Structure 1
Amino acid sequence: YAFTGIYTFESLIKILSRGFCIDDFTFLRDPWNWLDFMVISMAYITEFVDLGNISALRTFRVLRALKTITVIPGLKTIVGALIQSVKKLSDVMILTVFCLSVFALIGLQLFMGNLRQKCVRWP
């Protein structure tokens, strides 16, 4: 509750100082503020409306940490290099998944029916 209150207070200060969405440089002109607005609105929706167990929506709160990438220039360089290296490793990842799938199918065919009732304790 405390962090939701802090984020709400921060957003209200930004909205009161810049405006909400009509002019240039308003709150909703910045994509990071869109993320903040969605995170805060989802926090209040999941708190006050009983939608069942949708804890997956709470994971969007983690995305607020991505905002620090734009603030710290060294971190922006590191994240950019990391994204480029993951793009170059995509072929290796596809080959690895293919090999694991082949070995999984071979294992299924080799051990099919051999382990039946081996772990069951009969009285």
Structure 2
Amino acid sequence: MSLRERSRQLVESRAFQYFITAVILGNAATLGLETSSTLHDRYGVQLHVIDVTALSIFVIELILRLFVHRLRFFRDPWNVFDLAIVSVALAPASSAFTVLRAMRILRVLRLVSVVPSMRRVVSALLTAMPGMVSIAGLLVLVLYVAGVMATKLFAHTAPEWFGSLGQSIFTLFQIMTGDSWSEVAREVMAKQPLAWIFFIGFLVVSAFTVLNLFIAVAVSAMEAEHRAEEEAKPIPAQDRAVLAELRELRAELGALRSELTERQPV
């Protein structure tokens, strides 16, 4: 067996994937511990050694995958994603790269490419992006129309909330998220009792309808991704044998039926 084939078996083995997952989780824990000044002062050297060791393991893993897949490595977006994440962590520790060094925590995002269920969710969300963009456009349109209406209706009643179009849109976005919307509504209703019609209508359209469309599109995309993954799965050898026997039985039944039809008297 060639060295490349052995490397392929190692990289694609389940034990190796579990090992990389454990390293990612351990590295995430050490990066979190480094944010504590007390722990950093006491165990800074040990944490740095663990961080460098984890980074070395990631680099070796990428080298092995490049060796196995060669140029095909770059055809998989998840491989490119892993390469970008590890490359950021390899940035020098000079002041010009301080921001990049702070982004070492992005290594935790490699869990997305390692765990199949997470990868499936992200792929589904990317597939659903065109539909979500359309819904986001609809939401912006609803916010703009409602912002103009609210400014004209409540600018004099509650100028701190609806004094300008920008303030109105921000306030309506806050109401849409459910953050203290009743306080804003009651303050306006104290001077304009019928204002509840506007606020309830806006909540029904924005929060209960438009935002739920995002969930519907995301769920639909995940279901489609799951169906595509199930259809792409190879059929086990035992099932293929059963299917072959069923085809043979169908062929024999068809031949017998034709033979019986020919023997029947006209």
TM-score, length-normalised on structure 1? Answer: 0.49
More helix by share: 2
